[in-house]
Amino acid sequence: MDVKIKTALISVSDKTGVADFAQTLAEMGVKIISTGGTAKALAEAGVDVTPIENVTGFPEMMDGRVKTLHPKIHGGLLALRDKADHKAAMKQHGIEPIDLVCVNLYPFEQTVAKPGCKFEEAIENIDIGGPSMIRSAAKNHKFVAVVTSPDQYDKVIEQMRKNNGSVNEDLRGELARAAFALTAVYDAAISRYLNKKADVDFPERLSIPLKKEMFLRYGENPHQPAAFYKLAASGEPCVGAGKIMQADTEISFNNLLDSNAAFELVKEFDEPAAVIIKHLNPCGCAIDDDICVAYRKAYEGDVTSAFGGIVAVNRKVNIELAQTIMESYSRFGKSLGAEGFFAEVIIAPQFDPEAIEIIRTLKSWGSRVRLVETGAIDKNKIDGGEFDLRCIVGGVLIQKRDLVGWEPKLLTVPTKTKPTDEQLADLRVAWLAAKHTKSNAIVLAKGRKIVGIGAGQMNRVQSGFIAVKHAGEQAKGSVMASDAFFPFPDNVDNAAQAGIVAIAQPGGSKKDNEVIAAADKYGIAMVFTGKRHFKH
């Protein structure tokens, strides 16, 4: 069934395009009812507007808190026009039908995201009348079209022009679905803010406000459709809030997972750092005073695994760094036995325009690489209230993010041999990389770069063997980090055989004394961090 649009109620906070929308409706013979600031804006644009108080018989009151909460508004929205008693009630009480509602909501999320937002300001930006009208119109979409976003204006106008001023059932249903999704996300954002304000981490009921940002190329596998949904911006520089620059190939589910893993690791470092991720595990990680040197060290950590990896740096990509990344194979990799190199994604706080041009044109694969620009890294903007979610069939596991890093003041050294400053610098790199490596994780570092990683094994000894084998000759004189404690001295015995000189691990095992004794036996320095970093 088509619905002829004769009367529209327009009340919006985001006034983008609303004057043109209202003027076009008016030119098509639609009566425009409006409120407060919207009515003023439309009148100034030359639109013939009926003020809301002329319909309700009541003025706006209580600083605008009460203006649309009236039977003549909600009766006009909710009445079933094919039902005799509804029509009779409308006639008896002088209620006119409203065929289209155009409402978007007070900017609550934007308001609470502002630095220094006061509680009173947040409360005043909780919309009541808007969601009420949206829900009334959406419930009765059999007879009412509900428009909740400026990007819907053209679609509505186009159909009305083609359909003699009417909106068909399919479009009204589509608009209603979008409307209920909007109010659900809006209420979820308010709930989240109030819970955070009251220091309630895990409320009895939890809604997470998400908005679809894009369809993805595919999910973990090509037969799985996927999309990326975005949380409200908290101000934290991250992949989720980053700008994804257009490339010849769309970004996929796996690309975003790996990109997030790469950038969250590179954010751990204040000094210039580079990370290369493959299948959620770092295959390269290094720091240096020079970002180009840091990248080279990270790439050289595993030139084979770097092929098709995700590159993240915590400095701007300039011309020199762009050339270094794009020429990884010819400059360094070929001599180390690499078969070639390309990157799926490059993530950085910023890209110089000239650097983008080099990336896009220097190599044939440059037009396909996705570039993600996050903005400057500011650790003061890290959102400690954001949840880490894992899905299981039939439910969701929720925990707070693991934001514990390298904490020098909390380190203890139980061994007779103490680590040198150089070894501590390497232990820091290894420990932070282990935090971002799938358990059981063993990471070897030397010269402030990763030289060997064992990840995701069912036992820690096997992870140690893999890390040492990967490091080869570089294992001698390197340091080791373990994401969890050693339950037995076996990993220390194996480390000694490989020539490892220092170890960082949480401590806390029942057999810590045996593990420490083994380290003392071999003259290995051992550091207890006191924190575990399982990453399943």
Architecture per CATH, 3-197: 3-Layer(aba) Sandwich (3.40)
Pairing of strands 281-287, 273-278: antiparallel
* DSSP secondary structure of 415-435: SSSPPPHHHHHHHHHHHHHHH
The span from the CA of 293 to the CA of 315, in Å, is 12
The span from the CA of 492 to the CA of 517, in Å, is 10
Top pLDDT among 234 and 499 is at: 499
The pair phi, psi for residue 235, each rounded to 5°, is: 95, -10
Least confident of 32-36, 227-231, 340-344, 371-375: 32-36
Pairing of strands 49-51, 273-278: unpaired
What residue type is assigned to position 315 of the chain?
R
Give yes or no for residue 67 having a pLDDT over 70: no
The predicted structure's pLDDT at residue 76: 86
**Residue at token pair 């649309």:** 68
Average the pLDDT over 506-517 and give the result.
96
Stated as kind and residue range, the H or E segment containing 465 is helix 460-471
Average the pLDDT over 462-474 and give the result.
96
The predicted structure's pLDDT at residue 117: 87
The pair phi, psi for residue 121, each rounded to 5°, is: -65, -40
CA 105 to chain centre: 23
Average the pLDDT over 489-504 and give the result.
96
Give yes or no for residue 361 having a pLDDT over 90: yes
- And the tokens for 304? 């084979």
With H, G, I as helix, E, B as strand and everything else as coil, classify residue 469. helix
Average the pLDDT over 439-446 and give the result.
96
Q: Which DSSP letter does residue 82 get?
A: T
Top pLDDT among 83 and 306 is at: 306
The span from the CA of 452 to the CA of 479, in Å, is 10
409-528 has the same fold as 211-380? yes
At 374, is the pLDDT very low, low, confident or very high (cuts 50, 70, 90)? very high
Give yes or no for residue 217 having a pLDDT over 70: yes
Rounded to two decimals, what is the model's pTM?
Answer: 0.86
What value does the mean pLDDT of the chain take? Answer: 92
Catalytic positions, please?
139, 279
Of the candidates 285, 278, 313, which has an alpha carbon nearest to the alpha carbon of residue 443? 285
Are 277 and 264 within 8 A, CB to CB?
Answer: no
All structural domains of the chain with their residue ranges: 3-197, 211-380, 409-528
At 57, is the pLDDT very low, low, confident or very high (cuts 50, 70, 90)? low
Top pLDDT among 516 and 125 is at: 516
Please report, in angstroms and rounded to a whole number, the separation of the first and last CA atoms in the chain.
52
Of the candidates 339, 255, 269, 318, which has an alpha carbon nearest to the alpha carbon of residue 298? 269
Give yes or no for residue 73 having a pLDDT over 90: no
Are 172 and 144 within 8 A, CB to CB?
Answer: yes
CA 193 to chain centre: 18
Share of the chain above pLDDT 90, in %: 74
Domain 409-528: which CATH number of 3.30.365.10, 1.10.760.10, 3.40.50.300, 3.40.140.20: 3.40.140.20
Q: What is the dihedral angle through the alpha carbons of 409, 415, 416, 420, rounded to the nearest 10 degrees?
A: -50
Q: What is the dihedral angle through the alpha carbons of 474, 480, 486, 490, rounded to the nearest 10 degrees?
A: 20
Q: Which CATH superfamily is domain 211-380 in?
A: AICAR transformylase, duplication domain (3.40.140.20)
Give yes or no for residue 78 having a pLDDT over 70: yes
The predicted structure's pLDDT at residue 129: 85
What residue type is assigned to position 271 of the chain?
E
Give yes or no for residue 313 having a pLDDT over 90: yes
The pair phi, psi for residue 53, each rounded to 5°, is: -70, -25
Give yes or no for residue 493 having a pLDDT over 90: yes
Average the pLDDT over 479-497 and give the result.
96
The span from the CA of 244 to the CA of 372, in Å, is 5
The span from the CA of 146 to the CA of 360, in Å, is 44
- Kindly provide the residue ranges of all beta strands, DSSP E only, lying in 86-184, ordered along the sequence: 100-103, 145-147, 166-167
Share of the chain above pLDDT 70, in %: 98
The span from the CA of 67 to the CA of 73, in Å, is 10
The span from the CA of 277 to the CA of 282, in Å, is 4
Give yes or no for residue 170 having a pLDDT over 80: yes
Using only the alpha carbons of the chain, give its radius of gyration.
30
